[in-house]
Amino acid sequence: MRKAAGGSGWSGIGRVAFRTYGKRRTDVQRGAGAFALAALLWLVSSGWDGAAAADAVRIVVLGDSLAAGYQLPASAAFPAQLEKALKDKGVAVSIANAGVSGDTASGGLARLDWSVPDGTDAVILELGANDMLRGTDPKVTRAALEEIVARLKARNVAVLLCGMKAQRNLGPDYVRAFDAIYPELAAANGLIFYPFFLDGIATDAKLNQSDGLHPTAAGVAVIVERILPKVEELIARVKAKSRTSP
């Protein structure tokens, strides 16, 4: 991981560029088999074996520890809170948590096929924070995200792209190159776009855990509230596509 220059990140969180969102990738790789088994068990228990309600939109959140719910109970993680918020509004939806702590965009690409199983209607793509914190070349991050999007589009899976912003202590050149990845990728591929996944909580100590990186359950609730309109747009796109399919 590249050391960042001095200063604060996101104009409020100091020196967090020396850390990562969740465990490092080497630690994650050791648990990849366990995650695959957990994903399979989730699919069976949630009805993705074919018994799910015919009108339920099946969404996978492909991400890192911000999706996985680092240090939170499963019910407080982003996918679970989002599913509950949608169901409370009467939306038939099933949301899988395919977040892996410490994962990068390249890591998400490597596990894409088994993290996003057949039958998935839509993906909420939340990756890149660890790339940024480690100082990964933005070209590498961009290429991995582009390939993920291309492969999902080829499978007719709708995508909501969650943006990430570089901490400003990484320098203007890095910030400019990294921040441009997400809006440009969304525009080039006609994706539904949420500009900054941590919007509203990134600099609020009350909504983050002691590491200054990962949201508390209350912080996740803020993310869900803010991103909900975009997720509803994603679901509407899925339903519109299904109506026009032969």
Is the separation of the CB atoms in 61 and 98 below 8 Å? yes
Catalytic choice (64, 94, 115, 214)? 214
3-state secondary structure of 180: helix
Of 27, 55, 113, 211, which is the active-site residue? 211
65 is catalytic: yes
- CB distance 230 to 192 below 8 Å: yes
The H-assigned helical ranges of 47-171 are 65-68, 78-88, 105-110, 112-115, 129-133, 138-154
Q: Is 115 a catalytic residue?
A: no
198 contacts: CB under 8 Å, gap ≥ 6:
10, 66, 164, 215, 223
Q: In the chain, which residue ranges form alpha helices assigned H by DSSP?
A: 25-30, 32-46, 65-68, 78-88, 105-110, 112-115, 129-133, 138-154, 172-189, 217-244
Question: How would you classify the pairing of strands 122-126 and 93-99?
Answer: unpaired
Q: Who's near 47: CB < 8 A, 6+ residues apart?
A: 53, 56, 94
Q: Is the dihedral of CA 197, 200, 203, 206 positive or negative?
A: negative
Report the SS3 class of residue 208: strand
Please confirm, yes or no, whether 8 is among the known catalytic residues: no
Q: 162: left (phi > 0), else alpha (psi -120 to 50), else beta?
A: beta
| Catalytic residue selected from 65, 94, 101, 106 | 65
**Active centre residues (catalytic):** 65, 211, 214
